[in-house]
Structure 1
């Protein structure tokens, strides 16, 4: 194992070859069941062996020595169908892990996995060998927990989030993450949007808009929004300076470390004690604003800030998130089906207990949320996901496009276009 981890062959990018590589390198392995945008294998080394030759920290930034006591590691192979920038995503993840480890240095237990070795896709096969952390995904248990137990878990999540949100990371600018020639973490190209780095938040969001407009031309279901009247209006918003004006108030935004997928699927717990044992999956991590984590994370905790044109329940949630929850539940809460108000209130209470900057504390978050969800609607990612397309009938695809188009029309009308 000490030789093979650091000499994985390059140039083998097919799913079949990725699996074959793992099977050939180790004595025993099994799918770990934590797959999302990667193929994740638990590698059992069978017994503790010397790993003195595997410490790549001298030549690879972000890596730790593979101690001789380690008998299990996790191997993450990139899923090329994950709609993420393959060329930068591994380096982005490793750099993010470095920052989050530092952010949580004073947390009572170590919940971010060490990285022992990695290789980006620009050199061939993209992979990470990292520390195995015990525990089960919170998503498997959270909905079944009693209210007081949910509060115990959310209290820990809020404490961790506070440490990440307030961390002085030292990265200049906005965008994805990477390493410079000295091994220091710097801003880089975003793994999710494939743009960056940027000096300002406004520049980043303008580049995302341009990228999304470009993608509409390469998305067959959208076909550049032709015959809808939207294409010309979107282009006018871009070229007239109107979109830039929407971002005019963002000049003082503090560059903030964003996990980008901080949810129950990426949190490990000990089911017996309910203690958090792991925080995983930094594929989408980047530097943005304090508001942005609330556009990517916490959906299972009713912590995602919705856009302005969702259903009535989500609109009420958005109002409570950004203005404050009333002491007495409203009549609408009692009949709601799309929001778990008990969890929403528990989450808000946990944020307040740990002095987290919650949506109601962040200036202009409703405007920023509108901009973010608008950008997603310009070219919805799932319109290019083969699995989604295969599951939908032509009628369903047309209906989805129509609904998104109606949302875009509302945004453009709101902004005078």
Structure 2
């Protein structure tokens, strides 16, 4: 089992200067290694798949730079630029691993075959994290300090202890708008991966309908109000961004104004994530193990006129947290097809056409529900099966066999 704990660092001014210099060196190394990949790709790609029998002027292909060749070349880099000797070797090798990962996902895709966009070079200040892949031993954490390679002891706010039995595998230092953080990846090999043998039933499954009028409505007709953190911070952001636009580019006052804007954005992101975690834990506290939800095309919806509200709600982040927490509780997240979940009656299955202005569902069978409540019930029944419709189908099958 593997988990990650994040702690706030309180480095000294000298340690901050070292971190900033390391980030800049890693940024340059990242751009250089990425440029090597692009040069190889541009020189060796060609639409012509045949050559002349008499003569061929095609130059021989150059060796493809990969993770191992670029990692071996780090020795030459340290010989030419001695400042790279101050960085831990594993931290520098992690930069090459990041280039390998982003370039491979662009050309071939991830394990699911989904490709990413063309990698971009990192501008100044855009490289924000340093990784220490070597395991940090428990004795390196002494009270409020953590021992890091080539940097010494750094003060850390240990707001929660490291669980017993877990070993620290990797450490990552991240620079955010409000300071420096360290993320410790913890692993306990004695704890097996959580795999549930339970099956979703009407008793241990709840359906949720995501929306903008309310954040979600459950199949039990419980509603969670949408907080709209970004909407509430827009007035303050508008004032700060107006002040930023008046500052001279390159001045110290402009840098301070940029930090003020970044802190507000970071606060909004932290508030949103905290709300998502609390909502996910509240769903599981109701006694449900399986969470059925609509498998929405969130990227497509974010290109509509409601883009700001949809991105402020961050449905994708919430559904990822819900799926993770449900798996830790022995259940799972169950994505369902959202097609006609609003217009179908959750009692009889008949279709009741509605417009966006129609907020109530009334069916000829006598069912009367809120629009979102009806959709949440449909999502649940698509995951576990509709009790009334299934029983009627079984009766018809028995009658037909006779």
TM superposition score normalised by structure 1 = 0.26
TM superposition score normalised by structure 2 = 0.26
Larger Rg computed on CA atoms: 2
